Amino acid sequence: MRVVLSCTALASLLVANSANPDNIAPLKDFAPPKPYTPNIAQSAFPAHQFDRTNRDEYFFVTDLLDDSMDKFHVSGGFYGRDFYSSALFKYRGANFYTILNANFSKGNRYKDGGGNEVDFGYSRQGQSAVVGFVPNDISEFRFTFLRDNIDNEKEPHNPTDAVKTERKIAKFNARLGEESLANTLNLELMLRDINRNANNFELRNSAQKVKVEIERKIFDAKLSYDADFGNFHNMIGASYQRDLHEGKRYGFVGGKWVFNGYRFGDVKNQSVRVFDEISYKFNEANKLNLALNYEWMSSNLRAANNAYSAPMPQISTIKGLVKSIYGENLDGDIKHKALSASLKYEFSPNEKDLYYAALESISRMPSNMERFNTLYGPLDNGWISNPFLKPERHNRVNLGLEYKSEFFKEYLSSKQGEDSFAIKAHLIASDVKDLIIYDRRHSKATMPMNKNAVISRNVDAKIYSANLSASYNFLQNFGLKAALFYNYGQNKTDGRALYQIRPFEANLAADYKSYASFGSFSLGSALRYVAKQNRGDFDKSTGLGIDSKEAKAFTLIDIYGAVEFRNKFGLRFGVNNIFDKEYAEFISGDHVAALDPRRVNAPGRTVFVSFHSSF
């Protein structure tokens, strides 16, 4: 676990309460990689959407340098043909603090386990700044700015490449009242500005040139008030979001660019939430928690009647295109409202252990991708989302535990001569009403246009998710870690498996850490086993067909190590996929809206070495 002073500044805006709808993610989220925040920047591995091995969890003694309280931190290294570097400055004075980070990474084509080149790549620069003022013990003000720019992201699984993705996030936080939240007002304002361009000609050869340009601005405001009343704690608040989203597609016809469809038709969403969470502590160990969240959402496609170039006049507006697929008129505002609730019981017999059981009913509003992505397809393709979708509701049981033995502090850190262990587990069983899925139109019409286009719809479903992880420190210098994941998803409406459900996975790691006169060093090996996913959405003629039957079970072994000298500088090194296994992930790459189950193999054997310093 990596914690850096005041990096909570970058936490998500709307993590409001236990009934927060943002706790539910769509089945498939076509989004760029998350920005490198300062708390992870120094130790981060370069983003790679075709390799889901979580190497950030590996143990390196150089993490000590990256996470230390020193003012200056510099790291950089090669990961096969990729490069990543980061510089971090942090300082905390009596009444203010600041964190500055700049990072740069370059992804390049790589060889898979079969020796075949994969035309992958990107260039990425990120900058972030956090400045906080603490005038006294009952107030704190913090400004955060983060920019993430990704250029020329090659997408071998998609007809187009994301040639430009630029995200700028500005945030202001204010706390008036005690840090303990005993009597505290919190305000948060955030502006996200996103620009994304994709095309099929800059990074590849294409006879018919197409480009898509997307702009989005999201403004969030949240106000919450926390107060203690005896054994009760109450947090009440409200938030507002305004989301402006426009995306246009152009084709190069007759020597000029022709506007031929809206990816997002000048969408304007406004959302208001009110929420309350009240908890009651029966005693130090037992707590009951009730959380409520009520949301009103109003959406409007302001370009619904704007014309664009299309083969037929009937579909040359969003309104006409939607009517042709769904048979309904798209007029005026689309409004939704939903109540989410969570009742949670927590038992924490001591500071280390926690057991909880929660009953939750959480309603998630459809995303713009799920409702307003409206591009006709000239053949049997296209993607016409359903603006009339209902919010999905997850009625679920959420059980979990965390247990640490007496001497466990963290992985590979126990008292001298004492073996220790920690276990963490959760199980979520969810019965979902109106789950939002992508599907195909499956039209029997003779006309090819949009015949098998992607649509979105509501279905009922069952989703189970289980995770068990354990850490064991033994013989002073050794550690073992294991993590198991199992997920299950069934579309009850159609009697078929849900798509992109992660297969059973087991991660095992064995590590050795020791100290020496010069500092410390560590060596480790990790094994990742991913089972074959037999239940999937493999067939475009009956479902969405985004899952790939070609993704087989695989086992990877990585070896890695690190050495650090006097807490000042160190090296991290290793070999990933040491047996040069040829494999592909079952969950397909998700940085762009790629729907075809085109297999893209993950990297083969990859040597990495990075330098880390702190001073």
Partner 1 sequence: MKRRNFLGLGAALGVTALAPDLFAKERFDIWGMPAIPSTMLAVATMQGELNKTHDMKLRIWSNPDQLRAGVASGDMKLTAAPSNVGVNLANQGIKFGMLNIMTNGLQNVLVKDASIKSIEDLVGKKLIMPFKNDMPDLVLRAICKKRGIDISKIDITYVQTPPESVGLFLQKDYDAALSIEPMSSAAILKGKKMGVDVSVGFELPEIWGESFGVKPYIPQAGLIVSLDYYNANREVFEVFHNDLQNSLKWILQNKQSAAKIGAQYLPAPEPALANAFERSNLTVTKASDLADELMSFFEVLFELNPKILGGKMPDKSLFL
The residue assigned the tokens 């990816």 is: 263
Give min distance, CB of 556 to partner 1, in A: 9
Q: Running DSSP on this structure, what letter comes out for residue 114?
A: T
Q: Is 508 among the residues that bind partner 1 (CB under 8 A)?
A: yes
- On the CB side of 183, CA atoms within 13 Å amount to 4
Would residue 450 be called left, alpha or beta, if left means φ above 0 and alpha means ψ between -120 and 50 degrees? left
Cβ at position 613, least distance to partner 1 in Å: 13
Examine residue 2 and tell whether it contacts partner 1 (CB under 8 A).
no
Cα 176 to the chain's mean position, in Å?
Answer: 31
> Do the beta carbons of residue 365 and residue 318 sit within 8 Å?
no
117, 351, 475, 495: which one binds partner 1 (CB under 8 A)? 475
Contact status: 480 vs partner 1 (CB under 8 A)? yes
Pairing mode, strands 392-404 and 354-364: antiparallel
Using the rule CB under 8 A, give the single segment among 115-123, 206-214, 291-299, 515-523 that binds partner 1: 515-523
> How far is residue 254's CA from residue 237's CA, in Å, rounded to a whole number?
55
As a whole number of angstroms, the distance between CA 359 and CA 18 comes to: 11
The binder of partner 1 chosen from 22, 31, 33, 68 (CB under 8 A): 68
Does residue number 60 form part of the binding site for partner 1 (CB under 8 A)? no
Quick one: 51 or 140, whose CB is closer to partner 1? 140
> How remote is the C-alpha of 198 from its chain's centroid?
21
Residue 93 or 254: which CB sits closer to partner 1?
A: 93
Told to check if 415 binds partner 1 by CB under 8 A, we report: yes
In sequence order, which residues have a C-beta less than 8 Å from that of residue 27 and are 6 or more positions away? 435, 436, 437, 489, 498, 499, 500, 501
Q: Which residue, 429 or 557, is less far from partner 1 as judged by CB? A: 557
135 binds partner 1 (CB under 8 A): yes
Per 3-state DSSP, what percentage of the chain is helix, strand, and coil (rounded to 5)?
5, 55, 40
Q: Which of 2, 337, 409, 442 binds partner 1 (CB under 8 A)?
A: 409
Q: What are residue 55's phi and psi, to 5 degrees?
A: -80, -10
Residue 222's nearest CA partner among 242, 198, 203, 202 is 242
Residues 525 to 584 in contact with partner 1, rule: CB under 8 A: 527, 529, 553, 555, 566-567
Q: Which is nearer to partner 1, 258 or 553 (CB)?
A: 553
Output the smallest distance, CB 508 to partner 1, in A. 7
Q: Which two tokens stand for residue 594?
A: 């790629």
Q: Give 296 or 529: the residue with its C-beta nearer to partner 1.
A: 529
> What is the rounded distance in angstroms from the CA atom of residue 367 to the CA atom of residue 376?
19
* Piece of 35-43, 233-241, 263-271, 512-520 that binds partner 1 (CB under 8 A): 512-520
- Taking CB under 8 A as the binding criterion, the range among 128-136, 156-164, 389-397, 431-439 that sits at the site for partner 1 is 128-136
Instruction: Examine residue 94 and tell whether it contacts partner 1 (CB under 8 A).
Output: yes
> Residue count at the site for partner 1 (CB under 8 A)?
43
Residues in contact with partner 1 by CB under 8 A are 64-65, 68-69, 92-95, 97, 134-137, 139-140, 179, 407, 409, 413-417, 472, 474-476, 478, 480, 506, 508, 510, 515, 517, 519-520, 527, 529, 553, 555, 566-567, 614
